[in-house]
Structure 1
């Protein structure tokens, strides 16, 4: 007795929806838009799923006149990667021509506001590095417009995200570099009134750190500074714990016993970012990492960059290595890119 099996072709409609969505969640934006033209069934599934658009990765695709609407769709669904690429394209007019600079600036401002208030990036977002002064003499650039627009929103409407952003910018822009009247406002103080923990740390540094470094703090004031910082550490803010440990380690006051707190901080500190980066990488070895850092030191020395820029570049490299797999021949490119980004993060 023989059993006869009949095979029937099964289309995509016969596949369970859960499996279809699971597969589509790993598809890039370019492939996702291609699938829209292959099947009306897939088209309806993709267009009616904001979750897919919010998670789709763009890879090497960049906003242009053909892909702009897809990036815009993903950004409206909360896709951070698509939003940031749109912002950069609007700031520099790369790959898209959308009329007047004011129009580009308004669109960029709306995206920045959405990113800062949407909760995807958190209060420690570094997006302000994209538009903070000083600005170059580029006619096709809307950075100045975006910065001015954020200043107006912070001043006139009291937008907490704008106040927080401007307090961060005022921290890194020195007194000799002023491109706007908005810096006449003490944004750190305003952010402190809004309850921003980082502004609280900046305010503490402004009051005590310079005098402590110069040895001009009397014992009573130094004890008060330590009390204030210990209270801040109770919030669990890691930079506050680091600041307190450094302050105690350099204290000249014999009455202050900081060793137990320093020991506790070191024991409770998480492993360094280098540890996570090298653990994540499959091809990059500790020796390669050391060679890269040595080369970055040489670059910083040749270009007369400060140690702050060097440390910032190293942190950027390690942050990238913690998230993306790289090959050995990409390390130098990543390193020099990190140096360029660091020069925007730190002014010397």
Structure 2
């Protein structure tokens, strides 16, 4: 009897061992179903994916015949080169935004993909235009703002051989076509034409904005509406029409339109142009806008970046503030640069030796977006005391815009955190920032209103957010 029990127990144990053995086999990556494998492969970097396909024929078939893998793989810290051009090109054709953007910048700045000197501007410009438009299609929706104009806006190199000027001419020649490309091209043309001093250019800008707005691009409709309102400033009927149109554009989800609506309501309330019945609705609308802006996650940067502390971030932001002051850039460039910096630090590990490079890359990009005078790539290298090279800064710009997916000025970017000494320093240095620069935390906005003594605007906002610690 006892022996039978032992025998039964031994048999039971052997069954358990067999089950655990089968479980181990089923848990191996070799036995996973294709759907699960495809989900895993999307998160692999490109070099690892290439090595993975050499394991067996099944993996090779999955990698080669499923475009969804190539659309989402990461090219972090990789740059197009003659040996890797086909890899980037394949990913770009299958919808990979990062590959398309880096190919565009490689051709635009002639970095990594060398061509013969005599044909460089024309060939590079043609390739850069094609990949910029492809990246725009892969990242731009009806409510997001196209970003290609940031890289081709003036100033251009003198002599007529500037690749950026050639891309601009390519966009001009393609502005008459139809479709998504045409809408993006028209908006980018309008932004670039705004930096060129000429009456003919101004007429072309208006035409491009109106056509892009007619094609359904919300940022273009917003710029066109602001242009029309500024041309008829002081007309009460036109102001009312402007507010109604802003409400319609804001309902589409465009953050820039929501920001413009908040500013317009604050001005209307401050000027006494709102009736008592409209004040409550205006206060509710503005309150919803600020409450929709989630608090920053900048305090999580130090968890994501091992070896980085608040002092290091303080030194970096303080240096960026000094650059902004020296170059006489608007303070919004500093705030947007810090937002982009924090967003990048939250997404990807950055070594300590590259922190200054990341910071100046963010400032170069945001200065192109928010300022008439920009920080050029060569100036950015010089400002780092030539610690980095020209090509290093170009590549880091590609990394930044790739991580932000072209949404450099989007509301989802990280915002300043007022519990850190860095943010308190920025607050003291820029507490007189105008209401037009409401691009940071709601607490910062309300404090700016308080500092500039716009008491009626503060009454409209009715913030419940605490003031920054002093």
TM-score using structure 2 length: 0.61
- Report the CA distance between 1:293 and its aligned residue: 4.1
Matches of 1:44 and 1:272 in 2, distance apart? 44
Aligned to 1:153: 174
Q: Secondary structure at the match of 1:108?
A: helix
CA, structure 1 residues 342+177, in 2 after alignment: closer, same or farther (shift >3 Å)?
A: farther
Distance in 1 between the 2:235 and 2:196 partners? 31
Secondary structure of the residue aligned to 1:341 is helix
Aligned counterpart, 1:307: 331
Q: Counterpart of 1:107?
A: 127
Q: 1:270-281 counterparts in 2 under 5 A? A: 270=291, 272=293, 275-279=296-300
2:372 aligns to what? Answer: 347
Unaligned residue ranges in structure 2 (runs of 5+): 1-6, 374-470
Question: Displacement of 1:246 after TM fit?
Answer: 1.3
Report the equivalent of 1:53.
70
CA distance in 1, matches of 2:301, 2:279: 34
The residue that corresponds to 2:274 in the other structure is 256
SS state of the match for residue 88, structure 1? helix
Aligned length: 341
Equivalent positions of 1:83-102 (< 5 A) are 83-98=100-115, 100-101=119-120, 102=122
Deviation of 1:300 after TM superposition, in Å, equals 0.8
1:198 and 2:223 aligned: no
- In the alignment, the residues of structure 2 paired with residue 172 and residue 103 of structure 1 have an alpha-carbon distance, to the nearest angstrom, of 21
Distance 1:62 1:328, change over 3 A: closer
Higher relative contact order (CA 8 A, sep 6+): 2
Deviation of the 1:145 alpha carbon: 2.6
Q: Which residue of 2 aligns with 1:239?
A: 256
Q: 2:209 maps to which residue?
A: 188
Q: Distance in 2 between matches of 1:272 and 1:13?
A: 41
Inter-CA distance 229–51: structure 2 relative to 1 (3 Å threshold):
closer
After superposition, the Cα gap between the structure-2 partners of 1:234 and 1:92, relative to the gap in structure 1 and judged at 3 Å, is: closer
1:162 corresponds to 2:182: yes
Q: CA RMSD in A?
A: 3.8
The answer to whether the aligner puts 1:126 opposite 2:147 as a matched pair is yes
Conserved? CA contact 2:301–2:345, under 8 Å? yes
1:151, 1:162 within 8 Å by CA — same for their partners in 2? no
Structure 1 residues 192, 104: CA separation in 2 closer, same or farther (over 3 Å shift)?
same
Residue 122 of structure 1: SS of its match in structure 2? coil
Which of 208, 232, 236 is residue 219 of structure 1 equivalent to? 236
Q: Deviations over 1:272-312 (max 9, x none)?
A: 46614445662577787666544422221122223343344
Structure 1: gaps (5+ residues): none
- Give distance in 2, aligned partners of 1:50 and 1:276: 33
Q: What is the aligned partner in structure 1 of residue 442 from structure 2?
A: none
Question: What is the aligned partner in structure 2 of residue 135 from structure 1?
Answer: 156
Kindly state the Cα deviation for residue 29 of structure 1 after the two structures are TM-superposed. Answer: 0.8
For the 8 Å contact 1:13–1:41, the answer to whether it is kept is no
After TM superposition, the runs of 4+ consecutive aligned structure 1 residues lying more than 6 A away are: 1-8, 180-183, 284-288
With normalisation by structure 1, the TM-score equals 0.79
Change (3 A) 1:278 1:126: farther
Partner of 1:323: 347
Superposition deviation, residue 89 in structure 1: 1.2
Q: For the pair shown, which has the larger CA radius of gyration, 1 or 2?
A: 2
